[in-house]
A and B are shown apart, each in its own frame.
Chain A
């Protein structure tokens, strides 16, 4: 496989994952704004920060309003992480690796882009927002289904997975990074009204409400949420789950190529040395420091993969 192709597959799937995460965060923001009576400015600022797009937003806007925040995350061309920008970038990468993906995957990505262009041609009204977000989620699910059902399980699939799970780990870690303070043990296990809203936000942001209730019941507190999002190996958006997927796919690559590059050691290190303990150890380390450290490690890993597999000259 060409280094360029590995690069294209990796980024195509990072962008698809990012688009989906962005849509989920908008949905969460909207839900919170509608069900609480606090000031929307604070809520939407927090959503923008969680999505990692607040800096760009502030450069273009004076104040935070719901309409502007949603538009920035959904359609802004100036925002490289807006849903529309992500789909355009994913399709651009898909065109580049056209020979490595199946027709089904290409048509799903191309169709996603075409529909997004249509749905997001103009500002989306509040009334149309739920339907639009729904369509986006369905579209990304279609791409994922086509990938799962038709792509050969060789290095193509490995780079696809590694891109997806690195983006997802980054997303979950960033949500935790912005909201870590509401999960600290000092917070009361029952929590105030405000805390409850924050916890709800976190769980919704990773589509984990149902799973969490199933496992921990409805009275569980912040410690359990941290445990669930960081260490639970069954929860498909937890850091431990993502780290394992990355390590496993890198293991397939190493086996397939008959060579273990430095990046494999790094993936192994992240999983073994950071995500195999219990949550108490993490609180002892310092939740904030821990999340910061992991963000840094995932970032280094991504860069090492690019070098090891010759993404660029």
Chain B
């Protein structure tokens, strides 16, 4: 097992050198008080998320751990090159898949992977988004198994969330331990909202004015990520709108203000494709804007991310990512994919059924850690039930080996204890280029030995430092 602070053999790793010096001089009592103070701070600022299936409007805090996760500048440089390559490939893939589909003609991806995929949006065929950007905001989920060994677990190309925690975690650390930031050269993350606004504005339709009007579209206060939607709108100084604030007026999407309807150039939407436009997609949707897709196809609004990007982060497509990266960039992928068995293939299915207790099995369209099986920790009954589900709908699942995820210490009542982590760096894409905020959101499984870091399943978060070497 690899610990990011203590390595495999208990020798302090260099990114943590300064931090450890500080930690040894700290009174555990003071740290315990700080941990409580942090929780109080989060509760008061209202940084909460809603849990689906719980009583309406119930809000919870995501637990925050005060021990930072530290990455060296050198490690980060390598990672960010790999992330940039991957994000470029994803955008090229999306353009191709909704236009000439060269990758299918070249036989690198089977046709039915696209044509029979629910995440493929026929309404997007032949549509070119303003500035050619499909995924304005991407979150790439990474895990680590050793000093130089990073794997991409998942690409989030629809509406990745969590960036507000990245920002608030840093804000909290700055308030509680200012001295740490004088002693360590930590690369700042606070520019994210400014960069996001610039990036969105740069992606506006060509006919927009110098200062395009940007707005954030939220499903509303009951959405699990509402806090983040409000937070980002606030930080960018733009309006936070809901579907019923918008309508199509004279061929533009416009928001109802106290002075009348005012057109919008760029809509950062945090509403799923299916709910975006009741006229073009789900007719039951009350969250979207009737006719927005027609305005979009006419090139008069930018929707970020573009509709139909889900085809790029689909878990069945994931297994083809190495081919996708190579096909569009002509380079070897810099970031590793986790080996993946596609249960739709008979040989793979046989292997998966034979090794179920060693594997992690995920639903192709699932997210948030719901509906997955972790073989090594599952009970006999769970394995049996899952075997049945797998046989009934093999195409619905992929399987991966259980990786030995790295750990980072968390602060507990009895001192530091190692827990498994992952990392979600946030990437901004505009016609002007790609920008990656140094660090990202570290999620941590608070239960001893657990590999599930999702906040909906009891995970917590940590501040993530990238050091200036």
Contacts and interface: CB of A to CB of B under 8 A. Distances in A.
Contacts of B242: 4
A309 B239 contact: no
B244 interface: yes
Given A2-B241, A2-B245, A114 B256 contact: no
Interface in A263-313: 309-310, 313
Interface string A110-150: 11001000000000000000000000000000000000000
B233 interface: yes
A106 B46 contact: yes
A92 interface: yes
Contacts of A189: none
B260 interface: yes
B257 A95 contact: no
A99 B46 contact: no
A155 B259 CA distance: 11
Interface string B34-66: 000000000111100000000001000000000
Contact of A309 (B230, B234, B255, B258): B258
B257 A1 contact: yes
A98 interface: yes
A3 interface: yes
B417 interface: no
Nearest to A155: B258
Nearest to B220: A96
A96 B258 CA distance: 16
Contact of B244 (A95, A155, A257, A313): A313
B91 to A, nearest CB: 30
Q: Report the contact-size class of chain A (Cβ under 8 Å from the partner).
A: 20 to 34
B221 interface: yes
Contacts of A114: 43-44
B221 to A, nearest CB: 5
A58 interface: no
Given A2-B256, A110-B46, A310-B257, A96 B221 contact: yes
Contacts of B245: 2-4
A1 B237 CA distance: 12
B258 A1 contact: yes
A310 B260 CA distance: 7
Contact of B258 (A6, A98, A107): A6
A103 interface: yes
Interface centre among B43, B46, B245, B257 (most CB of A within 10 A): B46
Q: Tell me the interface secondary structure of chain A in the complex.
A: helix
Given A3-B245, A96-B221, A98-B230, A103 B258 contact: no
Contacts of A103: 45
A176 B259 CA distance: 36
Contacts of A1: 257-258
A289 B450 CA distance: 71
A212 to B, nearest CB: 39
B256 A313 contact: yes
Given A95-B230, A99-B230, A99-B240, A4 B256 contact: yes
A180 B233 CA distance: 49
Interface in B240-294: 240-242, 244-245, 255-260
B226 interface: yes
Contacts of A6: 258
Contacts of A3: 245, 256-258
Interface in A216-237: none
Nearest to B255: A2
A114 B39 CA distance: 14
Interface string A1-12: 111111000000
A15 B240 CA distance: 22
Contacts of B226: 95
Contacts of B244: 4, 313
Contacts of B221: 92, 95-96
A103 B240 CA distance: 16
Contact of B239 (A95, A99, A257): A99
Nearest to B260: A310
Interface string B302-329: 0000000000000000000000000000
A310 B231 CA distance: 24
B198 to A, nearest CB: 19
B230 A107 contact: no
A195 to B, nearest CB: 47
Contact of B259 (A4, A5, A92, A257): A257
A95 B260 CA distance: 23
Given A92-B221, A155-B258, A310-B256, A2 B230 contact: no
Interface string B202-217: 0000000000000000
A52 to B, nearest CB: 26
Interface string B178-213: 000000000000000000000000000000000000
A2 B240 CA distance: 9
A16 to B, nearest CB: 17
A289 B226 CA distance: 47
B216 to A, nearest CB: 9
A2 B257 contact: yes
Contacts of B241: 2, 4
Contacts of A98: 230-231, 234, 240
A257 B240 CA distance: 21
Interface of B: 43-46, 57, 221, 226, 230-231, 233-234, 239-242, 244-245, 255-260
13 contacts: A2-B239, A2-B241, A2-B245, A2-B255, A2-B257, A3-B258, A5-B239, A98-B234, A98-B240, A99-B233, A99-B234, A107-B44, A310-B257
Those 10 A-B pairs whose CB atoms lie nearest each other, nearest first: A98-B230, A309-B258, A99-B234, A3-B256, A99-B233, A110-B46, A6-B258, A1-B258, A99-B240, A95-B221
Given A99-B234, A99-B240, 18 more contacts: A2-B257, A3-B258, A4-B241, A4-B242, A4-B244, A4-B245, A4-B256, A92-B57, A95-B46, A95-B221, A95-B230, A96-B221, A98-B240, A99-B233, A106-B46, A110-B45, A259-B259, A313-B244
